Amino acid sequence: MQGAFTLRAGERGYSKLASTGPTSSYVAGHPNAAITRHSSFNFNDYQSGRAGFGRVRVFGDEVFSGSGCGYNMHAHHDFVICAFVLDGQLTHINTVGNIDQLSRNDYYVFSAGSGGKHSELNLRGEDMNAIYIWFLPQQLYLPPSYHRSHFDAQAGRNRLVTLVGDAAGALPIPQDVRVSRFVADAPVAQTYRLISPRHGVYAFVIDGAVKFDGTSLGRRDSAAVWGVDSVAYEAAGDADVLFVETVM
């Protein structure tokens, strides 16, 4: 079945989690650290919009502000959690056995599977901004895993680069999904071809502006289309877009 929606930046859910008070055990950092989170889909109490999109359950645009800010070690099962660092430095620690530091354009895929814990921290003074995406897996209680990589924005400019999913050079993920990034610094018009009409694609504008399926999107606006073979998108100039394709 065919469908589409547009979600403007200001229509997203918003929450702020402080390192003091009721969330002090969950949120790291001291004394005045805080996580701000803009959610495209259902994330805890946010539910004025969509519960999810295909296999996506969370799409959070998060900023960790203040020294040591982040999430303390906490448990997960089954969700496949991806982080795409846009600014600052993220320290990721997990019970698969990784201590990783990710900078701008680094990203990871952490599959919690049969159970794992992780901590996400900003150990620096400047803000850390990352996009967090959670996918449901294809199978429950898979062996936990962690993979990381880097998006080369200069080499990859003005074309679509697949970061996660079934594509050469992309990180593996135990789900029928793909995450791609499109960074433009010149006028570009392209066609996004979906894996099948049973899939849908969600486009999130990190920066700049694009026209996606005929709709003009600005910074942090987003839109989705499903039940089609392909979608046209174009940039008039500077643009930075994350595409999340998922079986519906």
Q: Which amino acid is at 189?
A: A
**CB atoms < 10 A from the CB of 228, how many?**
17
- What is the x/- site pattern for other proteins, positions 229-248, by CB under 8 A? --------------------
Residue 122 burial by Cβ neighbours in a 10 Å radius (0-12, 13-18, 19+): buried
- State both tokens at 240: 């930075």
- With CA atoms as reference, report the closest residue to 229 among 190, 198, 188: 198
One residue of 142, 167, 195, 248 binding other proteins per CB under 8 A: 142
19/22 Cα distance (integer angstroms) = 9
Residue 42 interacts with other proteins (CB under 8 A): yes or no: yes
Q: Which stretch binds other proteins (CB under 8 A): 27-35, 113-121, 180-188, 214-222?
A: 113-121
What lies within 8 Å, CB to CB, of 163 at 6+ separation is 84, 107, 149, 151, 170, 171, 179, 180, 181
Residue 137 interacts with other proteins (CB under 8 A): yes or no: yes
Task: Give the 3-state secondary structure of 36-64.
Answer: EEEECECECCECCCECCECCEEEEEEEEE
Q: Which amino acid is at 76?
A: H
Residue 199 interacts with other proteins (CB under 8 A): yes or no: no
Residue 12 interacts with other proteins (CB under 8 A): yes or no: no
Considering only residues 63-92, where is the footprint of other proteins by CB under 8 A?
A: 74-79
One residue of 20, 101, 114, 191 binding other proteins per CB under 8 A: 114
Least Å distance, CB 178 to other proteins, is 19
Residue 115 interacts with other proteins (CB under 8 A): yes or no: yes
One residue of 20, 32, 44, 216 binding other proteins per CB under 8 A: 44
Task: Give 114 or 196: the residue with its C-beta nearer to other proteins.
Answer: 114
One residue of 11, 103, 140, 152 binding other proteins per CB under 8 A: 140
Chain positions contacting other proteins, by CB under 8 A:
42, 44, 51, 57, 74-79, 112-115, 136-143
